[in-house]
Amino acid sequence: MPKRLLYLFFCLMTLSATAQASDMAKEKRWAEQITDSILIGQIQWLDVNKQKILSIYTAPTVPKVMGGALILHGSGAHPNWPDVVYPLRTRLPDYGWHTLSIQMPILANNASYEAYAPLFPEVAPRIEAGIKFLQSKGIQNIVIIAHSLGTTMAANYLATHPDSPIRAFVAVGMPGQATTITAMNNIKSLEKIKVPMLDIFGGDDLNVVRNTRAQRAKAAARAGNPDYSQLEVLEATHFFTDQSATLVKRVRGWLAKHAAGTEIKK
């Protein structure tokens, strides 16, 4: 290959790699803001592919420990996001759950849903680093709780990692729009998920969530998943504004029935 063409190829590959990575500068800014504002829980840096990824760990506040919950935020957000994420990560420990809220790959706030597709290879290493951390605490009963785009990331992970130690999945505001990108097609992912799953959403949720509830349920049925259930919280929005107490109550109640373990508190 001529040197000029070789140089052009190298440049294109470099640009492609850059375009497919999480916005690490934004992750750094989030981390700086969050580190100074944590009142409940503690910062935990996860080693992921030679990078330090922010997460927030909160220990149970009661003697009886039920397990550990990985919490995944939605698009453009962070692991201390005030809606959905913060209430779950700070209140579930009162019911015996370790929580680890992880910074997921992010883009600019105006990025489209499908623009996140090239970032999906970064998802599994972050989830698995979170699993490893919880296991280091002696926790074997591990679940995932995710919101919005985070549900798509979690669903794709579970669909492509059938041997994962994750024992249950709570999806808050899961979209179900049609897309040709397999990794981002929640309907396709649900056809492969076997673990107990709660599909919870608001009565005033996004159309792409409310209007695809039947498709999601049918996909879970095709997977032969007997422990899939849907729950609509009538007055809730996509972000469960003013409904965080109800969200926590419903999630911890479902976990108590479908994913409770008995762990040793460390």
Q: Pick from 260, 204, 262, 193: which is nearest to 229 by CA? A: 193
Domain ranges of the chain: 42-258
> What is the per-residue pLDDT for 72?
98
pLDDT at 230 over 70: yes
CATH class of 42-258: alpha beta
Hey, how many other C-beta atoms are within 10 angstroms of the C-beta on 121? 12
Q: What is the mean pLDDT of residues 93-122?
A: 94
> What is the per-residue pLDDT for 127?
98
> What is the per-residue pLDDT for 263?
60
> What is the per-residue pLDDT for 133?
98
Q: What is the pTM of this model?
A: 0.91
> pLDDT tens-digit profile of 108-128?
888 999 999 999 999 999 999
Centroid of chain to Cα 168: 12
> pLDDT tens-digit profile of 145-196?
999 999 999 999 999 999 999 999 999 999 998 899 999 999 999 999 999 9
Please name the residue ranges forming H helices in the chain.
Answer: 3-19, 24-35, 85-91, 123-136, 149-160, 186-190, 207-210, 213-222, 244-258
pLDDT at 255 over 70: yes
> pLDDT tens-digit profile of 2-37?
444 333 333 333 333 334 588 888 999 989 999 888
